[in-house]
Structure 1
Amino acid sequence: MLNPCADTIGLRYALPVREIPGGAANRCYALGDSLILRIPRDAAAATDLAREAIVIPYAVAAGVPTPPIVEYAGGYMVVTRVPGADAVTAPVAAGFYEAVGEGLAVLHTVTAVPGLDAPAPDDPVALVNAYATGGLIDAATASWLTGWFGRLRRPPLPPVLLHGDVADQNLMAGPDGRFTGFVDWGDARLADPAIDFAKLPLPAADRALRGYLGTPDLGDWPARVLWHHLHWALGRLAHPVPEPGARHWTATPYARLFSIMRFFTAAPGQWTRLLP
């Protein structure tokens, strides 16, 4: 049975309503073939949807490939439908992640959004010290990790508008496998632009950076991106609870840590020079 609100909205648009797979935050419905209806599952999701209502017009105005808002009414949002399916479901073509990087380069030209804050970043060294103090790692390992973060540390970049959840479930691929747009802006914020590459597995992040920068020379960006990957991998170890049914690649608690290890067995030279 459809959500009564979805039925009502479908009648108002004079379009058939069909439930489709949604994210953790929103129930999703196709309105005909051209629109998507998103209804938040709880109060926290409603807050995220309100953030999307603020951010999406800025992304659209900048030229970012993302579906514009047709209607936002607090309890729901209607957007245009992006062709294809998300990259978890659909196969992607060569150049897909490079095109994602090109889209992020456009997004990151937005440096201010009224009502959107830039939270202070966390320091991974504090997490390392907490693990050592709590007896989860030994002093030598803590020193080794602190030294690695020291090698990766770079001067902060000015905050820009981030999508905040650049991962396959939020990247759309058309029938030809090409990138067609970003969806789900509930985690958008102003922050370090390298964070937008930290929810992609490192092989995909490497390709996205090449599209973002428009050159095979990635400069300091691998260090900036690896900083966040390593930080978040350590953070996930503090909460090793599986998320059955979740579609993101880090739903299994140790996925990110072992993904880093696998990547560095055959990583491009611009990355292997960052090893401790």
Structure 2
Amino acid sequence: MTSRPDGSPPPPEWAPEREVTADLAAALIGRRFRELRGAPVERLATGWDNTVFLVGGAWVFRFPRRRIAVPGVEREMAALPVLAPRLPLPVPVPRFAGEPSDDFPWPFWGARMIPGREFAGVRPPEDRRAALAAEVGAFLRALHDPALVRAAGDGLPLDPMGRADPANRAARTPGRLDALAGLGVWERDPAVDEFLAKARGWSVPDGEPVIVHGDLHVRHLLLAPDGRAAGVIDWGDVCLADPAVDLSLAYAGFGGAARAAFLAEYGPVPPDREAAARVLALNLSATLAEYAASTGREALLAETLAGITRAIAP
């Protein structure tokens, strides 16, 4: 971490470059979409890249918080209407598209709300995850169908974050783990260190790229009140990549019988793809745990710390 010239620490990675308030969101939406003018606007969620508002109790609007997120917003608007009818779980379908303007320099969009709670917020018991895991496995089998590349792959970049590269992700992870140890929420595990040391010599899995969500983790899977899957959100990293990029959720979010149920629905996963998925599962879990510990998100912290353990477990 590099200090500022005055010696103060830099802002965290998730700090917004532009913070949209509920009042500003209401103004931006009201000026552009007459039918929503005067509708109540309330903050629904925040992440690294977007601030999300519920409008009129029915519509969810996403506003970028950082310039780096803008290409992802544009990909969501282009890809989601094509993907949605081809997938077995609900995904957002942009209905309102806000263009950049003097009052807000970046695009934003709104879609019908998908009711549900984040997987990380619900934290279903381990012995009740199998049905959910099977639904996610079936969803990813459909998303990773090579035929979908021909239907919806135009314009999508090829793994721009390098998430299918296990050596890349292994090199990025120790710093995250050091941060967790420094925050006092995690103790170093020799098994994790050994796993990461081996992963530095692994290669990107063989195979043709498919369409992937790109950032499929425990905040982006929504659950219904009965614990089943309600939808998949936050598609700003949708791209072409090896399926390992999304299969990371099988290793971070599920273990034992639940993981077996996932794989039974998804299909066989070659060893090199499993290895890459496990490395990314560890990396994403550590990254989200650092974010959760630093922002006071206790449920997310508990789930992602458990994800570190699951990622390397048989």
Tell me the residue number matched to 1:19.
43
Distance (whole Å) between structure 1 residues aligned to residue 243 and residue 98 of structure 2: 30
How big is each residue's C-alpha offset from its partner over 1:37-83, in whole Å with a ceiling of 9 and x where there is no partner?
A: 11111221222211211221222131342121111224211011111
TM-score scaled by structure 2?
0.63
Q: Name which of 111, 124, 128 aligns with 1:79.
A: 111
Distance (whole Å) between structure 2 residues aligned to residue 235 and residue 21 of structure 1: 19
- How far the C-alpha of 1:195 sits from its partner, in A, is 1.6
Q: Residues 191-270 of structure 1: matches in 2 within 5 Å? A: 191-199=241-249, 201-202=251-252, 204=254, 207=258, 210-211=261-262, 213-214=264-265, 219-221=268-270, 223-230=272-279, 233=282, 242-243=290-291, 244-245=294-295, 258-261=309-312, 263=313, 267=314
How big is each residue's C-alpha offset from its partner over 1:133-172, in whole Å with a ceiling of 9 and x where there is no partner?
A: xxxxxxxx99x9559966xx79612111000111111111
Please say if 1:105 is aligned against 2:112. no
How big is each residue's C-alpha offset from its partner over 1:115-137, in whole Å with a ceiling of 9 and x where there is no partner?
A: 11224753629977xx9xxxxxx
Please say if 1:63 is aligned against 2:95. no
Distance 1:196 1:219, change over 3 A: same
Q: How many residues align?
A: 246
Tell me the residue number matched to 1:274.
none
Distance (whole Å) between structure 1 residues aligned to residue 223 and residue 284 of structure 2: 31
Q: Greater helix share, 1 or 2?
A: 2
Say if 1:101 and 1:209, in contact at 8 Å, map to a contact too.
no
Distance 1:253 1:35, change over 3 A: closer
Distance (whole Å) between structure 1 residues aligned to residue 305 and residue 76 of structure 2: 30
Q: Percent identity?
A: 22
Distance (whole Å) between structure 2 residues aligned to residue 168 and residue 161 of structure 1: 19
Distance (whole Å) between structure 2 residues aligned to residue 172 and residue 126 of structure 1: 26
Distance 1:246 1:184, change over 3 A: farther
Say if 1:7 and 1:17, in contact at 8 Å, map to a contact too.
no
How big is each residue's C-alpha offset from its partner over 1:16-43, in whole Å with a ceiling of 9 and x where there is no partner?
A: 2111122221111111222101111122
Tell me the residue number matched to 1:46.
70
Q: Name which of 211, 219, 231 aligns with 1:181.
A: 231
Amino acid of the structure 2 residue aligned with 1:115:
G
Distance (whole Å) between structure 2 residues aligned to residue 182 and residue 147 of structure 1: 29
Say if 1:6 and 1:37, in contact at 8 Å, map to a contact too.
no
Distance (whole Å) between structure 2 residues aligned to residue 236 and residue 81 of structure 1: 27
Stretches of structure 1 that go unaligned for 5 or more consecutive residues are 132-140, 268-276
| Alpha-carbon RMSD | 4.0
